[in-house]
């Protein structure tokens, strides 16, 4: 080893990130091998930042050839182990939300002099299609130069890969070109990023690493047909992403918080984003603005068509929005909802159009109806399932849990807008995602009695560039004919797509299993089911919530997923005393609050006791 590669006695021999993606389902393994070259025991730590949408499925620790595997346990059981470890004076590293897209997994372990340690973390996620691409996001941040650093991705897509790209934010294009290879042909794609030690240096004579940033792989598949069904071992997944359809006109009401807390920067960014959004509005869309502080005021009494003249007027209105006073979310929201309902009832908007409420707020209701439960009930009752509500939570003080439930209860979703220089872009990005509905009222149907345990199969909207994914179990594992119908309403017509697989096609699909990890569709189904159960759980109460929790927990345990309901425990016997590591999953609403979850690693206390002197 080169002396410069040993930092504080520890040499990190290799770090390898291997991603195996089959039909959008990513199975990622991060492996780090290190050696303690010091003459005394040293603490070696292992940090991985993984997507918030991923579930850890395994973590193992191998010390001097002995592997300590991870076990998934119900969170409460793991918590007791955690508490016991803490009470025995062991320290804990924490898993917490890290930035916008990631959460951080940290483990450290004491390694004897001359010993070798291998950390291996595995996580899985279903890559979601957004604006026509699947994105796999990896954070790269080795603490020191690594002899063998490598990221590899093997992608297998039965539909065939239409594009593949990889980008690193931390390296110049010249260096990237020599360290990165990417290729795809037919159904297979491959990405390899393998910087040499010299390429990792932040400068030619530096011993610190420049590898610190985002590594992103993006790709898409061929779309000769709008749908694709894959069946393996009695489980199926049905992908549906039609294109080439005209956009359904939208009726959008922006319900915007203009209370005092939005003053200056947040309002400035909101206005910039709205001005950009107005530029992108299509002429057959309708819109209005509802501003709320202590009082509610509207731009127009009813929705207005996005003609060039009206857009010009809207721009002037947006430019003059000013912040004031307290926060009456309930008042603003109900005004917006009523306006959309009235527009439909009075035929002010095209019959074949879709309505959307977009709520943007940075705070907590403190004017009018302010109990979150009451606001949620009011919105739910007023909307009555007729159209979706999207919540955008701006900044750190927002009650994100409330906004998320509000959106989920009304067929929408919530997004956090991070208070940063790119907040304007974040808002625009959100809008672009929902700006192009191609279908509304989408229903995916399968023959009755043929399918069990179906994941969500109805969607209010299908947006251009996204993808609807439905998975389930076949009632008869050996069935040799599969049929699915997808119905939806387009801008001008109703469409009914049929996807059929005959015995021959099903056999061909089975043969393709040689290329893929065998139970991936079953795991994809389990992942999707757990994700949807957890979402439903967020808006459920009482017995329903308990049932949903029980179902999600059972699946998490069965499929070895670290979800918000489970923890992974790694126990390393040492000195007749168990050392315990626990991996948990923090929720998104836990940002900037003390995490209730942790990775704990058993840690040998320092040999020399510490003595404390306190001022009192």
Partner 1 sequence: PHFIIRVPGKNDALCFNIDEDPGTVLRLIHDPVTGLTVHGEIIGDKVASADSKTRNTYFGKLGIANAYLDVRIEVTPEKISLWNGEAQSTFSWLDTVTVTQNGMTMAINRKKNIVLSFGDGVTFVVVLHQVWKKHPVHRDFLGFYVVDSHRMSAQTHGLLGQFFHPLDFEVSDIRPGLDPSKPVATMVVKNHQLKVTRGSQKDYRRDASVGVKVACWFIHNNGEGLLDGDLKDYIVPALF
By the criterion CB under 8 A, which residues form the site for partner 1? Answer: 224-226, 243-246, 490-500
Supply 489's token pair.
Answer: 């309403």
3-state secondary structure of 285: coil
Q: Taking the complex as a whole, how short is the minimal distance between the CB of residue 533 and partner 1, in angstroms?
A: 32
Report the distance separating Cα 451 and Cα 236, nearest Å.
Answer: 9
Residue 396: other Cβ atoms inside 10 A: 12
Residue 309 or 500: the one with the smaller Cβ distance to partner 1 is 500
Q: Shortest Cβ distance from residue 250 to partner 1 (Å)? A: 14
- Can you tell me whether residue 351 is helix, strand or coil? coil
Of 126 and 439, the one with the shorter C-beta distance to partner 1 is 439
Q: How far is the CB of 441 from partner 1 (least distance, A)?
A: 14
Smallest distance from the beta carbon of 224 to partner 1, in angstroms? 5
Question: CB-wise, 250 or 416, nearer to partner 1?
Answer: 250
Question: Which residue blocks in 320-371 are alpha helix, DSSP H?
Answer: 329-345
Burial pattern 524-550, b for ≥16 Cβ within 10 A else e, equals bbbbbbbbebbbbbbbbeeeeeeebbe
Q: Kindly write down the DSSP assignment for every residue of 445-501, as one continuous string.
A: E--TTTEES----EEEEEETT--EEEEEEESSTT---EEEEEEEE-SSSEEEEEEEE
Q: Which is nearer to partner 1, 341 or 489 (CB)?
A: 489
- Name which of 187 and 271 has its Cβ closer to partner 1: 187
The Cα 424–Cα 521 span in angstroms is 38
Assess contact for 35 and 13: CB atoms under 8 A: yes
Give least dist CB 150 to partner 1, A.
Answer: 39
CA angle 151, 119, 106 (to 5 degrees): 90
Those residues whose C-beta lies under 8 Å from the C-beta of residue 371, and which sit 6 or more positions away, are none
Of 371, 298, 391, the closest CA to residue 340 belongs to 298
Q: Estimate the share of the chain in helix, then strand, then coil, as percent rounded to the nearest 5.
A: 25, 40, 35
What is the smallest separation between the CB atom of 165 and partner 1, expressed in angstroms? 25
CB of residue 161 to partner 1, shortest distance in Å: 17
CB of 162 to partner 1, least distance (A): 14
Name which of 312 and 496 has its Cβ closer to partner 1.
496
- Which are the contacts of 385, defined by CB distance < 8 A and separation ≥ 6? 410, 411
Smaller CB separation from partner 1, 70 or 158: 158
Q: Which is nearer to partner 1, 495 or 557 (CB)?
A: 495
């Amino acid at each position: 080893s080169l002396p410069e590669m040993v930092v504080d006695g520890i040499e990190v021999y290799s770090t390898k990130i291997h991603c195996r993606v089959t039909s959008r389902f990513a199975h990622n393994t991060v492996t780090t091998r290190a050696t303690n070259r010091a003459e005394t025991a040293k603490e070696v730590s292992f940090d991985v930042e993984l997507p918030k949408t991923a579930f850890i499925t395994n973590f193992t620790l191998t010390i001097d050839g002995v592997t300590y595997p991870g076990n998934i346990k119900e969170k409460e059981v793991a918590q007791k182990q955690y508490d016991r470890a803490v009470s025995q004076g062991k320290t804990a590293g924490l898993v917490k939300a890290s930035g916008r897209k990631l959460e951080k997994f940290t483990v450290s372990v004491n390694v004897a002099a001359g010993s070798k340690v291998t950390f291996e973390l595995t996580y899985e996620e279903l890559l979601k299609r957004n604006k026509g691409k699947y994105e796999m996001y990896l954070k790269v941040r080795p603490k020191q130069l690594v002899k063998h650093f490598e990221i590899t991705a093997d992608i297998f897509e039965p539909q065939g890969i239409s594009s593949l790209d990889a980008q690193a934010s931390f390296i110049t294009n010249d260096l990237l070109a020599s360290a990165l290879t990417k290729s795809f042909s037919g159904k297979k794609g491959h990405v390899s990023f393998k910087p040499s030690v010299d390429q990792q240096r932040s400068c030619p004579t530096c011993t610190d690493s420049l590898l610190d940033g985002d590594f992103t792989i993006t790709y898409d598949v061929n779309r000769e047909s709008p749908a694709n069904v894959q069946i393996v071992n009695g489980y199926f997944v049905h992908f549906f992403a039609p294109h080439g359809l005209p956009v359904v006109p939208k009726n959008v009401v922006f319900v915007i918080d203009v209370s005092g807390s939005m003053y200056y920067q947040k309002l400035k960014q909101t206005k910039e984003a709205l001005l950009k959004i107005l530029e992108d509005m299509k002429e057959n869309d309708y819109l209005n603005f509802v501003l709320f502080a202590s009082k509610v005021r509207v731009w127009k009494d009813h929705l207005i068509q996005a003609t060039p003249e009206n857009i010009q007027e809207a721009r002037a209105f947006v430019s003059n929005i000013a912040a004031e006073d307290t926060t009456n979310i309930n008042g603003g929201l109900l005004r917006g909802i009523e306006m959309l309902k009235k527009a439909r009832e009075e035929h002010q908007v095209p019959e074949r159009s879709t309505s959307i409420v977009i709520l943007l707020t940075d705070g907590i209701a403190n004017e009018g109806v302010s109990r979150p439960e009451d606001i949620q009930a009011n919105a739910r009752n007023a909307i009555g399932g007729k159209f979706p509500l999207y919540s955008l939570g701006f900044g750190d003080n927002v009650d994100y849990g409330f906004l998320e439930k509000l959106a989920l209860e009304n067929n929408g979703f919530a997004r956090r807008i991070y208070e940063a220089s790119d907040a304007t872009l974040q808002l625009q990005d959100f809008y672009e995602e929902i700006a192009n509905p191609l279908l509304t009222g989408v229903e995916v149907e399968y023959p009755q009695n043929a399918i069990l345990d179906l994941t969500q199969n109805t969607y209010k909207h299908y947006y251009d560039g996204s993808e609807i994914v439905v998975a389930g179990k076949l009632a008869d594992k050996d069935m040799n004919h599969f049929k699915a119908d997808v119905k939806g309403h387009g801008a001008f017509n109703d469409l009914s797509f049929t996807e059929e697989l005959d015995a021959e096609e099903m056999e061909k699909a089975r043969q393709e299993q040689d290329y893929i990890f065998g139970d991936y569709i079953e795991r994809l189904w389990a992942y999707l089911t757990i994700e949807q159960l957890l979402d439903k759980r967020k808006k459920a109460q009482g017995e329903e919530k308990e049932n949903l929790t029980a179902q999600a927990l059972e699946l998490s345990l069965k499929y070895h997923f670290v979800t918000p309901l489970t923890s992974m425990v790694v126990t390393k016997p040492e000195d007749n005393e168990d050392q315990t590591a626990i991996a948990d999953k923090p929720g998104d609403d836990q940002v900037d609050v003390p995490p209730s979850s942790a990775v704990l690693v058993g840690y040998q206390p320092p040999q020399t006791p510490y003595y404390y002197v306190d001022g009192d």
